[in-house]
């Protein structure tokens, strides 16, 4: 039988670490191979865990070991004060996976700001705002102009992965950090925005296997950032809209994103050249048009409805057919991702570059750089090569 730890951890810190990480006692007990009552006994101070068990708790909660021996829990702001409201997610009751993802992205954002200031570089400013009383197409024109992606370039992209890489690079150029987060169920969050300035974050769930889906989710999150900058949205902990009021915000973000991805004039030209009638918009025709713009068929259907090419009734009918089609498809394999691909996919090029620059100028050590990037130092040579590669080369980034 293993001996208890020579110094007992602080019971209130054990409770704080578990709750702050989003775990219930049953899940912790299962992970550590003990009964739930034993976890409760640790947290009440009735029993003392072994040192090995404390190390396992630190690993599970992603906390430094020393934190468990502090006299009291640290004071931290609720995570829901950082991210935008997410449909179906109750602030304070996020999954452990989502809580960890938000924590990591928030830490990266703070580190990015600190390193930019440390290196004497200018912190980019995101200067776009939107209001709900504006037309989605008006907001879309403003965002599209800021992104500086001509339609001609978009129609010339060789693949959906090149499209995703180009949209991501363009968003990063306007003062937004773009991250990807793993292990979170798509049903919980396809994307999330961190409403922090400077350098707000637009993040995409890496379980979005389709690059077209990632592109739409990214622009959707940027629209939410614009609404927050226009004081139309608040962080989840402070957002009071419910029901249809919140659906109005989500619909505005969806329609605006679809107008960004497919500008009105370009869509009109495509539709007129195809001689498409309202009754001809079947799955195949919508998919064909979507492929030209490198977006999902569902996003294209949303776009066609927004511009009046078919009404809500037809859209619902079309979507039912589309959902049935998707349900019949075999799940797509995520394929193989290299350690370098995962780092660039999750952390993004701007953050990766600034960490490498800080390391090369001795502002941080190689060990610190490895921790910031979640990448072993032995891969840094390949990482630098990948940073120099043209966007879209190499396919999936995670």
For residues 142 and 144, give the distance between their C-alpha atoms in angstroms, rounded to a whole number: 6
Distance CA 129, CA 229 (A): 5
Contact indicator for 365, 377 with CB cutoff of 8 Å:
no
User: Which residue in this structure is represented by tokens 């659906």?
Assistant: 247
Crossing angle of helices 283-293 and 264-274, in 10° steps, is 130
The residue with tokens 């629209």 is: 223
The radius of gyration of the chain from alpha carbons, rounded to an integer in Å, stands at: 23
Among residues of the chain, what percentage have pLDDT more than 90? 81
The answer to whether the CB of 36 falls within 8 A of the CB of 24 is no
Residue 394 has pLDDT above 50, yes or no: no
pLDDT tens column, 55-84? 999 999 999 999 999 999 999 999 999 999
Q: Which of 209, 201, 210, 362 is nearest to 295 (CA)?
A: 210
pLDDT at 332: 59
Phi, psi (degrees; rounded to nearest 5) at 268? -60, -40
Q: Is the pLDDT of residue 177 over 70?
A: yes
* 189-214 average pLDDT score: 96
pLDDT interval class at 397 (50, 70, 90): low
pLDDT tens, position by position, 335-345: 567 999 999 99
Residue 179: band (very low, low, confident or very high) from pLDDT cuts 50, 70, 90: very high
- What is the H or E stretch that residue 205 is in? strand 201-205
Structure tokens at 86: 């997410």
Q: Check: CATH 1.10.3720.10 for 11-76?
A: no
**112 within 8 A of 354, measured Cβ to Cβ:** yes
Helix, strand, coil percentages in the chain from 3-state DSSP, rounded to 5: 60, 5, 35
pTM, two decimals, is: 0.92
Q: Using an 8 Å Cβ cutoff, are 85 and 236 in contact?
A: yes
Residue 193 in contact with residue 200, Cβ under 8 Å? yes
Region of poorest pLDDT, from 150-159, 311-320, 321-330, 372-381: 321-330
Supply the DSSP symbol for 124. Answer: P
Q: Percent of the chain at pLDDT above 70?
A: 94
| CATH architecture, domain defined by 121-261 | Orthogonal Bundle (1.10)
Report d(CA 137, CA 247) in Å as an integer: 18
Half-sphere exposure for 237 (CA within 13 Å, toward CB) = 10
Measured between alpha carbons, how far is 89 from 102 in angstroms, rounded to an integer?
Answer: 13
Compute the distance between CA of residue 101 and CA of residue 118 in angstroms, rounded to an integer.
Answer: 25
Give me the pLDDT at residue 393, please: 44
Strand pairing report for 201-205 and 177-181: parallel
Q: Please determine, for residue 252, whether its predicted confidence score (pLDDT) is greater than 80.
A: yes
Domain map of the chain by residue range?
Answer: 11-76, 121-261, 266-328
pLDDT interval class at 278 (50, 70, 90): low
Best-predicted range by mean pLDDT among 193-207, 232-246, 278-292? 193-207
Supply the pLDDT for residue 311. 87
Give residue 392's region: left, alpha or beta (phi > 0; psi -120 to 50).
left
* Phi/psi at 363 (5° precision): -75, -30
Q: Which two tokens stand for residue 130?
A: 């939107």
pLDDT of residue 310: 86
DSSP state of 34: S
As a dihedral over the C-alpha atoms of residue 241, residue 243, residue 245, residue 251, rounded to 10 degrees, the angle is: 120
Taking the mean position of all CA atoms in its chain, how far away is CA 17? 24
The confidence band for 280, taking pLDDT boundaries of 50, 70 and 90, is: confident
Q: What are phi and psi of 129, to 5 degrees?
A: -135, 160
């Amino acid at each position: 039988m293993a001996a208890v730890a020579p110094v007992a951890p602080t019971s209130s810190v054990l409770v704080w670490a578990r709750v702050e990480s989003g775990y219930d006692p049953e899940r912790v007990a299962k992970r550590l191979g003990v009964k739930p009552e034993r976890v409760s006994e640790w947290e009440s101070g009735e029993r003392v865990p072994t040192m090995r068990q404390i190390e396992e708790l630190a690993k599970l909660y992603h906390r430094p070991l020393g934190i468990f021996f502090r006299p009291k829990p640290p004071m931290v702001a609720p995570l829901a004060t950082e991210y935008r409201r997410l449909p179906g997610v109750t602030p304070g009751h996020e999954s452990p996976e989502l809580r960890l993802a938000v924590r990591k992205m928030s830490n990266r954002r703070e580190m990015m700001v600190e390193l930019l200031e440390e290196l004497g570089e200018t912190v980019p400013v995101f200067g776009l705002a939107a209001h709900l009383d504006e037309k989605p197409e008006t907001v879309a024109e403003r965002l599209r102009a800021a992104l500086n992606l001509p339609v001609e370039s978009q129609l010339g992209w060789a693949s959906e992965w090149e499209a995703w890489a180009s949209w991501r690079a363009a968003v990063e150029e306007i003062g937004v950090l773009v991250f990807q987060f793993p292990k979170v169920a798509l049903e919980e969050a396809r994307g999330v925005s961190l409403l922090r300035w400077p350098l707000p974050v637009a993040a995409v769930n890496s379980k979005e296997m389709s690059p077209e889906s990632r592109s739409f989710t990214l622009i959707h999150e940027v629209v939410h950032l614009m609404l927050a900058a226009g004081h139309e949205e608040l962080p989840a902990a402070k957002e009071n809209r419910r029901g249809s009021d919140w659906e109005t915000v989500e619909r505005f973000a969806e329609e605006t994103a679809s107008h960004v991805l497919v500008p009105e004039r370009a869509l009109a030209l495509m539709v007129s050249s195809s001689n498409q009638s309202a009754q001809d918009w079947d799955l195949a025709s919508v998919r064909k048009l979507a492929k030209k713009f490198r977006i999902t068929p569902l996003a294209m259907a949303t776009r066609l409805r927004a511009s009046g090419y078919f009404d809500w009734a037809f859209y619902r009918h079309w979507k039912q057919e589309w959902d049935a089609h998707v349900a019949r498809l075999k799940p797509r394999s995520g394929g193989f991702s290299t350690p370098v691909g995962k780092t660039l996919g999750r952390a993004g090029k701007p953050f990766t570059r600034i960490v490498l620059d800080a390391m090369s100028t001795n502002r941080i050590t190689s060990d610190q750089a490895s921790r910031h990037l979640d990448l072993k130092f032995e891969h840094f040579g390949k990482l630098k090569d990948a940073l120099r590669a043209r966007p879209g080369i190499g396919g999936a980034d995670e």
